[in-house]
């Protein structure tokens, strides 16, 4: 599953690395793990999500990211694969992410 997050020095976001695969079958478990871990690391946000490992995903991945953003209010994406960027754009939610 996804790597554990860690909190940086004061003021830095908690970080969470997404796993290589997030599809309908995986999204609920990844979301549960991410929410629990990120809240423990930085209950007040912002959160930094590393998407560099993503190779297999569907719109469930976007739903997961939207849920994480809703939960923390400030979500930063790093290492976003071009196909995920296209999905974010196709759904018209690019302004919701600091990618």
Structural domain count, the chain:
1
Task: Give the pLDDT confidence of 6-28 residue by residue, as tens digits.
Answer: 545 556 778 899 999 999 999 99
Q: Determine contact, residues 7/40, Cβ cutoff 8 Å.
A: no
Task: Give the pLDDT confidence of 52-98 residue by residue, as tens digits.
Answer: 999 999 999 999 999 999 988 878 899 999 999 999 999 998 887 76
pLDDT of residue 10: 57
Check pLDDT > 90 for residue 5: no
Domain harbouring 61, CATH code: 3.30.750.24
Can you give the residue range of the structural domain that contains 31? 15-96
């Amino acid at each position: 599953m996804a790597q554990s997050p860690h909190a940086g020095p004061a003021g830095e976001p908690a970080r969470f690395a997404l796993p290589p695969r997030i599809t309908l079958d995986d999204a609920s478990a990844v979301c549960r793990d991410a929410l629990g871990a990120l809240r423990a690391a930085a209950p007040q946000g912002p959160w930094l999500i590393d998407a560099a490992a993503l190779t297999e995903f569907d719109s469930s991945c976007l739903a997961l990211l939207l849920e994480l953003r809703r939960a923390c209010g400030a979500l930063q994406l790093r290492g976003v694969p071009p196909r995920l960027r296209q999905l974010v754009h196709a759904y018209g939610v690019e302004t919701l992410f600091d990618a």
